[in-house]
Amino acid sequence: MATQATHLALVTGTTSGIGEAIARLLLERGWRVVGLARRAASIRNPNYTHVSVDLGDAAALRAAFAASVAPLVQSAGLQRVALVNNAADVALYGQLADVDAAEMSRAYAVNSVAPVLLMGLVARHVAASTALRIVNVSTGAVRAAYPGLGTYAMTKAALRLAGMVMAEELQLGAAPGDRRDISILSYEPGLVDTPMQLTARSASPSRLPIVDDFNGFKANGDLVAPELPAGNVVSYIEADGHPSFSEGELSAIR
- Among 48, 93, 108, 152, the active-site one is 152
* pLDDT of 252 higher than 70: no
Asked about 146 being catalytic, the answer comes back as no
* Number of neighbouring beta carbons within 10 Å of residue 60: 13
- CATH top-level class for 7-253? alpha beta
Q: Tell me the CA end-to-end span of the chain in Å, nearest whole number.
A: 23
Average pLDDT value for the chain: 93
What pLDDT is recorded for position 1?
Answer: 67
| CA-to-CA separations, 55 to 60, 107, 110, 243, in angstroms, rounded | 8, 10, 5, 28
- Confidence check: pLDDT of 227 > 90: yes
User: Using CA atoms, how far apart are residues 237 and 230, in angstroms rounded to an integer?
Assistant: 11
Please tell me the distance from the alpha carbon of residue 161 to that of residue 219, in angstroms, as a whole number.
Answer: 34
In the sheet with 245-249, reading across from the earlier edge strand, the strands are 48-52, 32-37, 7-12, 80-85, 131-137, 182-188, 245-249
Summarize pLDDT for 151-164 with one digit per residue, the tens.
Answer: 999 999 999 999 99
Q: Where are the domains of the chain?
A: 7-253
Q: Does the pLDDT of residue 86 top 50, yes or no?
A: yes
pLDDT tens, residue by residue, 32-78: 999 999 999 999 999 999 999 999 999 999 999 999 999 999 998 99
Which distant-in-sequence residues (6+ apart) come within 8 Å of 130 by Cβ? 78, 79, 80, 81, 181
Least confident of 70-84, 88-102, 144-158, 224-238: 88-102
